[in-house]
Amino acid sequence: MAILIVDDSPDHRLLLSSVLIKAGHADIVTADSAQAAFLLLSPPDGSPSPQIELILLDVCMPDMDGVAACRHIKQNNHLKDIPIIMVTAKNDADNLQEAFSAGAMDYIAKPVNSVELLARVASALTLKREMDHRKAREADLQRSNDELQQALKEVKVLRGLIPICASCKKIRNDGGFWQQLEDYLSEHSGVEFSHGLCQPCIKKLYPGVYRD
């Protein structure tokens, strides 16, 4: 999983990359514009995109600024869960409110302090991984629920009129053949039988054994 740095300044991209790599974040991807970032996140040729788990997004960029880029990313269903940290020199309340409204989760003020950068990156990655774990558990629960619902749909239920012999109690099945009651019920309900003798039958079959 990689961290994507989006910044039009080569020096600033190098600075952020160096701090992150030194701290152990080896997989770093960079883009010099919002459009270049979009191409990385959603390659038009259908090729696999890098597995991005965090975006550091500069606010002041030509063509499309970071706030607009953030809003565009958050409108994409397969990208909207990637946390975005804005990197900005505009840290007044109005600009920060605009960034948060666009979907940013945090911000880092320029000039970047390496301790602050690593702390905010660590916090964002921890939250992202917890969310991914929770979503995986929810997906597992949903899959189990779907399997249960499917199993319930497949449970055989006896309905309608069933022809049964008044003497031997055999049941005439769908093929027109007479079948033992327990065999028919086992096939159509999944139940199993444990055989025994009731008291009336014991009296009838073994009159000298059973005592009232």
Model pLDDT, residue 123: 94
Reference 4, options 44, 39, 47; nearest CA is 39
* pLDDT at position 155 over 60: no
Model pLDDT, residue 57: 96
Q: For the chain, what's the residue count? A: 212
Specify whether 15 is located in the same domain as 101: yes
Give Cα separations from 7 to 10, 33, 60, 100 (angstroms).
Answer: 7, 6, 8, 19
Q: Please give the average per-residue pLDDT across 116-136, as a whole number.
A: 92
Q: Give the end of a domain, one of 122, 146, 170.
A: 146
Model pLDDT, residue 33: 95
Q: Please give the average per-residue pLDDT across 44-55, as a whole number.
A: 80
Residue-wise pLDDT for 173-190, tens only, equals: 878 888 888 888 777 776
User: Token pair for residue 183?
Assistant: 């065999």
The CATH number of residue 43's host domain is 3.40.50.2300
Reference 103, options 80, 77, 76; nearest CA is 80
Reference 73, options 89, 52, 91, 87; nearest CA is 52
Specify whether 47 is located in the same domain as 69: yes
Model pLDDT, residue 67: 94
Mean pLDDT (the chain) is 87
User: Token pair for residue 47?
Assistant: 């090729």
pLDDT category at 194 given cuts 50, 70, 90 is: confident
Specify whether 32 is located in the same domain as 10: yes
Specify whether 102 is located in the same domain as 164: no
151 domain-assigned: no
Which runs of E-coded beta strand occur in the chain?
2-6, 28-31, 52-58, 84-88, 106-109, 171-172, 178-179
3-state secondary structure at position 191: coil
Reference 30, options 8, 1, 59, 60; nearest CA is 8
* pLDDT at position 212 over 70: no
pLDDT category at 46 given cuts 50, 70, 90 is: low
Handedness of CA 39, 41, 44, 45 (dihedral sign): positive
Reference 15, options 54, 148, 65, 7; nearest CA is 7
182 domain-assigned: yes
Determine the Cα–Cα distance for residues 84 and 89; give it in Å rounded to an integer: 16
Model pLDDT, residue 78: 87
Split into its structural domains, the chain has a count of 2
Specify whether 88 is located in the same domain as 39: yes
Question: The domain containing residue 133 runs over which residues?
Answer: 2-146
